[in-house]
Amino acid sequence: MKYCRVCFRPIKTSHLRTFIEKEPFICDDCLAKIVVDLHKRKHFNISILFLSVYAGALKDWLFQYKGNFDIELAPCFLFLFVPLLKVLYRNYIFIPLPSSKEKEEKRRFSHLEEMLRSYQFSYLRAFEKSTDEQKEKLRTERYTDAGIKLIIDPKQLENKKIVLFDDIFTTGNTFKSSVNLLKNVKVKAIKGLILLDNFMIEQRKLN
């Protein structure tokens, strides 16, 4: 008997899903709760694809995943979007945007890397987010911006097509810093992919 990774109930699904997925890990009820809200918007001259909005099931799952360290949820977030992403980002390298070292050490896994690894997306850990104490020191380094640091040889990214991947877009500060760092690197193309769009919600609050 297989159990849903989200609700822990036995998975009862169609023969078609079982045939296609072999071993389904999300039940039909939980799958139906995922809100698909595909939309594109430009920020910092980069085209970003948003998969959903900051509300509903995915928001709740993300809290459980990151806040309660539930690594079993890793493949649940991109499940419905994988076929589309495989087409849109063929020959692209995903670069997950960084969390702070403290959060990753406490969590004991990189939440974005685990999402990508679940579906064998090609990715590269290229950035690191410093602690507040380190930020002042990093100001003098070339490949740093607002506490975000490029931690690989820039030549590894030259002539590559890159997707900057993050879970939530609110102010866009981390995304902007990452884009700024790549201005010093001769990449072939840059696109953005965000799981949950919180930007418009925040804008409405301000208004």
pLDDT tens digits for range 103-132 = 888 888 999 999 999 999 999 999 998 765
Range of the domain at 77: 36-206
Domain count, the chain: 1
Instruction: Evaluate whether 121 touches 93 at the Cβ level (below 8 Å).
Output: no
12 located within any domain: no
56 located within any domain: yes
Q: Is the pLDDT of residue 134 over 50?
A: no
6 located within any domain: no
pTM above 0.85, yes or no: yes
Digit-coded pLDDT (tens) for 1-36: 899 999 999 998 888 898 889 899 999 999 999 999
H-only helix segments in the chain: 15-21, 28-32, 56-67, 82-88, 101-107, 111-117, 132-138, 173-182, 199-206
- CATH number for the domain harbouring residue 145: 3.40.50
